[in-house]
Structure 1
Amino acid sequence: MYLKIKDFDNGKPILYGQNQTRTPFGVNLSDRDILPDLKGRKSVPEGSFLAEIDNEIRFLPRGSAATAILPTSPLVELTGSTQSFKVGDTLTQVTGYAKITLDGTIAAGDVFTIAIDAVTYSYTATAASAATLATLIASGGPVSISGDGPIPTYSIPGVKVTAQGTTLILQANDSYALNVSCSSGTARMNVITTDPGYLGACIVPLGTINSIVQDTVSGNRVITLNANAAFAAPVGSRIGLRVDRLLGIAPIAMDFTDEPIRHYAPICEADGVYEKNLPYCDRQIKRELSDLRINRSFYRAS
C-alpha cells in the first residue's frame, strides 16, 4: 500500500471585494511553460499575471535582476515570476529604460531639468557642449531644485544614469514618469522611450536563454544566455519578454504537476488587487491593467 502525501497552502488574499469582476474570455494553460520548483512541482503562485506572447498564452515571465547584468557575462540572475521562463525565450529590459539626447545650441548658464516621478532635478551647463553636459550630469549628478546641492546619483532608488556622447541613458527599477525641460529656446532635450511619458522598454534584446538552473531557496534562478548580455543593467532592472498584450490575473495558485492542462478565465477587472501579495508587479503592469485597481492596501486604521 502506498500513501500519497500532498502539500496544501492556504495562499494569500489577492482580490479586495468582489462586487465587480470581469472574465471576458478563457485560456488554455500547459505545464510545458512552467519550470519545476525545488520540490519538483510545476506550480504557479496566486496573483500571477497572464499574457499573450507570440500567439501563445503564458503566465507572464518577468522578474527583477538580483545582481547586476554585465556585458562581459552570459549570466542573468532573476527574482520574481521565474518559473515562467523557458529555454529559447529572448530577454530584454521590459521597463524602466529611456534615453535623453542633448542637442541644439547650448550656452553656459542654460538650465536643464529632468523630472523622474515626483522628484525634479536641474543642472546648469558650464560649457557650450552637449557631450560635456551629458558627462557632468551622469558623473556629477544633477542639482536638486529644492536646494540640496549636487548629489552623486538620483535620489529615487534604483535609477542609474550613464552618458554615451551627447545622450543620457536612464535605467531604473520601475516605470517611473519622465519629463524634461530646458531654459533656453535653442537647446533641446529629446526623450526616447517606448512608453511616452514614462521609462519604457529597451528595444535591444539582452539575449536568448540557453539554459536555466534550478531555483534557490529564495526563489531566484540563474539564467545563461547564448552569449554575453548585449548591455549592462543594474540590480533591480525589470527583465522579461515582449508581450502582445496582458490578459489579466489569476488570484489562485495552480499546480500543473498532476494536471498538465488547465482551462482558466483570467480576471481583467476587479474591485481591487493587493499588490503586496503578488509574486511580481510593476508600474507598467498597473497602468496597462488599470481596471484591476492594484493598490498596496485598501484599509488603514486611523
Structure 2
Amino acid sequence: MTAAPRPAASLPDARPASLVLRLTPDFALPFVQLARLDRPIGWQLLLAPCWQATALAGLALHRGPNLWHVLLFLIGAIAMRGAGCTYNDILDRKLDAAVERTRNRPLPAGRVTIGAAAAFLVAQALVGLAVLLSFNRFSIWLGVASLGVVAIYPLMKRVTSWPQAALGLAFSWGALMGWSATFASLAAAPILLYLSAFAWTIGYDTIYALQDARDDAIVGIRSTARLFGPRAQLAVGLFYAASAALAFAAIELAGGGAIALIGWLVFCSHLAWQVMRIEGADPATALRVFRSNRDAGFILFAGIALEGWLG
C-alpha cells in the first residue's frame, strides 16, 4: 500500500510557498487553515486600526505608540482573527461547499470535524481574552461590546447586500481599542479613525468579493461587489475617499504634524492606485489589490507613529 497524499496543501487564496505551510505538519494543517495562518492578510488588516489608534494616542501625548500595547494588539489580532474565521467556517460550511474558491476548506472538505473546530475556536478565544484582560477596565468592556458585531457578521451575507459594512464594524473596532488602552476613554479622534477604518474596510472587502461574484450569484450569497456591479470601481473610490478624509480629520484632532501628513498622503496615493487597478480585474488581480491593503494600513500607522517619535 502507498501512503495517502498530503491533503490540499494550500487553498486558492493562500500563499503556497509560505513558511507557515512549509513548517506545518499534516495533522495540524486543517487548523492552520481554519485560523487562516497561511493567509496573514486578515490579521494584518484587523491589526492596522489597532496600531493606528495606539499611535494616534501617542501623538496626542507627544510621544510614540506604547510598544507593550503594540505587542498585545499583535497577539490579539492573530488570535481573534483566527477565532472569527473558525466561527465563520463552522456557520458557512454548507455555503463554502458550493463556492469554487472555498469548497476545499477543512470543514466542507471533511478534513476536520465540527467538534474539533469548535474546540479550536474556544482555545483561540481564550488567548484573545487573556490579551483583553491585560488592558484597563474601560477597554475590557469596550472589547466585550465588540462580540455582538463579530457574532452576527457571518450571517449578514444571507440577509443583506452589505455584509462588508458588518465586517467594517467589527474589523475597525481596534481604532477604538487602541485609544482606550491609553486613555481609558474615547474622544472624537478615535471615533473619526474608526469611521475611516469602517469606510476603508467596505472598500477593500468589496475588492475581495469581486473574486466570488459569479459563484455568489449562483448560491445566493450577497455582497457589495454584486450590489455595485459595473459601478464597483466608483463605489470603492468613494469609500476610499471618505476613509482618507476621516483619517485626516482624526490625525489633525490628535495633533497633526508634517510627518503624519506625509504618511497620510502616501496612504491616499496607495488607495488611488488600488482604485485604478480594479476596473475589469480578474480574480487574481482582485486578490493582489486586496492584499496590498496591508501596506496601506501600515503606511498610515508608520506616519502617525513617526510623528510621535520624531515630530
Global fold match (TM > 0.5): no
Higher helix share: 2
Larger Rg: 1
TM-score for the superposition, normalised by structure 1: 0.22
Higher relative contact order (Cα pairs below 8 Å, separated by 6+ residues): 1
